[in-house]
Structure 1
């Protein structure tokens, strides 16, 4: 994904590039921290003072609808976003709240088209919950 420009990436996903859409998508591509809409808004407001929170939410919704980003609901309190749309798993640290990507070569993300009972699979989300290595390291030092 990083090999093409954000402008071309939006065009590939049939999203008409605008200053705001480019800024939101570029932020997602550069910050692989699974930011919330509020995180994105606060950061981009410094660069685009006229940006509204509604524009950020609408842009994220549009990016998700066009497959340019994914919406993650790992934590019941927050919805975060991910620019990596290829199959992969996530690890949610219940201590610090950070979300980590787990590449498919490290975890198996099932690729199934259908399930017993005639169910058709549209997508698979795999989430792990626990304590991240950073927090475990901090616990060991205390």
Structure 2
């Protein structure tokens, strides 16, 4: 799954977001790292480069991105919120050993759309948990 943006500032503007330096860096982190980070992960990664950054700013920026529909919130575990900039329909697999979250292609044709034809779908979430290939090979 590939997601490229040539100019993040222009992308934010096109989505109704004023492209401040902090917002650009937070979105750039999401797009480039593709690691489905928590607020803490983003904060720790960007703090050395942006010493004035606060966790509140990261949290508020992510909420703005969600509101503008350029980022999805992922809640695979009840006590852990992660974020994803890939907006196409796809699933997530969380390794119970290393904690990494992987994007999984979902074939929407396999899903029974007939069963949902009378419903308005606002969100779709597909989560899987288990042991990733790398951890399974390192037994």
TM-score normalised per structure 1: 0.87
Where do 5+ consecutive residues of structure 2 fail to align?
none
1:59 counterpart = 2:58: no
User: Equivalent residue for 1:115?
Assistant: 116
- Describe the SS at the equivalent of 1:73: strand
Instruction: Check the 8 A contact 1:27/1:40 in 2, yes or no.
Output: yes
Deviation at residue 115 of structure 1 after TM alignment: 2.3
User: Equivalent residue for 1:38?
Assistant: 40
CA RMSD of aligned residues (A): 1.9
User: Equivalent residue for 1:93?
Assistant: 95
Instruction: Check the 8 A contact 2:92/2:127 in 1, yes or no.
Output: yes
1:128-139 to 2 correspondence within 5 Å? 128-139=128-139
- Describe the SS at the equivalent of 2:6: coil
TM-score normalised per structure 2: 0.89
User: Equivalent residue for 1:21?
Assistant: 23
Give aligned pairs, total. Answer: 135
1:40-61 deviations in Å (ceiling 9; x for gaps): 0011111100111100000000
Where do 5+ consecutive residues of structure 1 fail to align?
none
**Equivalents in 2 of 1:21, 1:112: separation in Å?**
37
Divergent runs of 4+, >3 A: 109-114
Instruction: Check the 8 A contact 2:5/2:11 in 1, yes or no.
Output: no
1:5 counterpart = 2:7: yes
1:41-94 deviations in Å (ceiling 9; x for gaps): 011111100111100000000001101111100122211111111111111111
